[in-house]
């Protein structure tokens, strides 16, 4: 993803694009150009159909019934766990915990693992570029336990200051929580090196993979991290569903995060014993249709090939960067050599909201604001940016329409 672009493999992305019916519409009388993929990707018809089939033909609760429909739903729901295991190369299905999304996954780790191991004087290391979802849960657990938060600074190019990271590590470091790919900058962080150095100090590592899993191959065993979190809706799947990968020995030692059905072994008023992981962390009726939908999304991505997806998106982002550079007064916020399919920028004298509003009239959807990453925008002394984020179903022609629309928006202020 962050390497030099090679020849794009023989994949017909224009044909693949037809799977996304939402793209075949007009906004304000103009063909839609959807460039808000970092917020949420679009869903192909194959995934939508699989979810619909469950609702129409298979709907029943899982893990609770001996009747045929319940067994059928359970089998489909649990098949996703196997697909996730293979997709990120986890060692075991028992390491794959179903959650409602990346935010829920991080809260689970912060409260269950962090809440049980942290004590006064311990330290948690975050980065300056974290999404709020990987800041606030740690602040909350730090307040309860007396732990302190340390922050890895970011360089002017938008890269982590790895020398500063090394100096922050000590025997007081218990947890390092870091984003794999920044949603605000597009920077791809060296998570394997970060993990190795944390482990040298005996610290556990959580990786926020919300922006990496949809765009590149991820191998949690190669990275070596202890926890890895991501969401279905950013990878052509449904909202309301996500994954927490956790090393088996850590999950087995962690207390439950929520109580209720399915996470129990035996219940009495005198004592309750808990189920084994991953079910220990999956209280209540889960979002079954969404879980089955994630399985279908993984099938879809695998059919295209993650290497093909990464190459396609790198081609698009490099074309966008090349053309955006030609716009006078435009400045990138995040300019790392290790960049994913995200371009965040500001234009002198124009508020990001005005850019987004004007180009929306041209049918182009980008994200404006602080992107739930206020600390990193404060680092670059900007209140908000415009962010174009790309997926494999986008085209170079759509990038060119973005450029023309920005020039059009800029003309209003000249």
State how far the Cα of 305 lies from the Cα of 11, in Å rounded to an integer.
9
Contact 355, 375 (CB under 8 A): no
Alpha helices in 247-395 (DSSP H): 248-253, 288-304, 306-324, 352-360, 374-379
The order of strands in the sheet holding 227-231 is 96-99, 242-246, 227-231, 204-208, 173-179, 123-127, 148-152
Catalytic-residue membership of 236:
no
Question: Which of 105, 110, 109 has the alpha carbon at shortest distance from 145?
Answer: 110
Burial degree of 39 (CB within 10 A; 0-12, 13-18, 19+): middle
Burial 228-265 (b: 16+ CB within 10 A, else e): bbbbbbbbbbbbbbbbbbbbeebbeebebbeeeebbbe
Q: Which two tokens stand for residue 390?
A: 């790309």
| Ramachandran angles phi, psi of 157, nearest 5° | -80, -10
CA nearest neighbour of 189 among 170, 216, 167: 216
Residue 242, C-beta contacts closer than 8 angstroms, at least 6 positions apart: 98, 99, 100, 101, 102, 103, 104, 105, 229, 230, 231, 232
Contact between 212 and 94 (Cβ < 8 Å): no
Asked if residues 125 and 176 have their Cβ atoms less than 8 Å apart, the reply is: yes
The secondary element (H helix, E strand) that includes residue 82 is helix 68-88
- Taking the C-alpha atoms of 56, 60, 66 and 69 in order, what is their torsion angle to the nearest 10 degrees? 0
Rounded Cα–Cα distance for residues 346 and 333 (Å): 7
223 is written with which tokens?
């990275």
Contact (CB, 8 A) for 216 and 306 = yes
Catalytic: which of 225, 236, 343, 372? 372
Active-site residue list: 372
């Amino acid at each position: 993803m962050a390497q030099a672009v090679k020849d794009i493999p023989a994949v017909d992305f224009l044909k693949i694009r037809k799977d996304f019916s939402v793209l075949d519409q007009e906004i304000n009388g103009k063909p839609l150009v959807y460039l808000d993929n970092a917020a949420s990707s679009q869903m192909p018809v194959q995934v939508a159909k699989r979810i619909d089939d469950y609702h129409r033909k298979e709907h029943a609760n899982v893990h609770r019934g001996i009747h045929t429909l319940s067994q059928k739903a359970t089998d489909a729901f649990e098949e996703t766990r196997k697909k996730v295991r293979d997709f990120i190369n986890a060692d075991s299905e028992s390491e794959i915990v179903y959650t409602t999304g990346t935010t829920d996954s991080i809260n689970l780790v912060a409260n269950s693992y962090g809440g049980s191991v942290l004590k006064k004087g311990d330290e948690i290391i975050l980065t300056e570029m974290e999404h709020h979802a990987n800041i606030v849960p740690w602040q909350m657990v730090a307040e309860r336990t007396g732990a302190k938060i340390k922050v890895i600074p970011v360089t002017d190019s938008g890269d982590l200051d790895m020398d500063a990271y090394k100096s922050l590590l000590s025997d007081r470091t218990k947890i390092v929580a870091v984003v794999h790919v920044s949603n605000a900058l597009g920077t791809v962080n060296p998570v394997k090196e970060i993990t190795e150095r944390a482990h040298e100090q005996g610290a556990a590592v959580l990786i926020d993979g919300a922006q990496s899993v949809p765009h590149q191959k991820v191998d949690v065993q190669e990275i070596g991290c202890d926890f890895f979190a991501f969401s279905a809706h950013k990878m052509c799947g449904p909202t309301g569903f996500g994954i927490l990968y956790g090393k088996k020995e850590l999950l087995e030692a962690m207390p439950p995060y929520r109580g209720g059905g399915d996470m129990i072994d035996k219940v009495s008023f005198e004592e309750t014993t808990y189920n084994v992981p991953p079910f220990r962390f999956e209280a209540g009726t889960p979002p079954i249709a969404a879980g089955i939908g994630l399985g279908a999304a993984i099938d879809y991505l695998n059919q295209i090939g993650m290497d093909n997806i990464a190459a396609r998106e790198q081609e698009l982002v490099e074309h966008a960067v090349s053309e955006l550079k030609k716009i006078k007064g435009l400045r990138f916020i995040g300019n790392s050599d290790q960049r994913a399919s995200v371009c965040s920028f500001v234009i002198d004298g124009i508020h990001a909201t005005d850019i987004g509003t004007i180009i929306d009239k041209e049918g182009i959807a980008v994200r404006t604001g602080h992107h739930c990453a206020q600390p990193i925008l404060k680092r670059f002394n900007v209140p908000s940016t415009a962010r174009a984020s790309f997926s494999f179903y986008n085209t170079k022609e759509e990038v060119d329409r973005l450029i023309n629309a920005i020039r059009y928006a800029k003309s209003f202020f000249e």
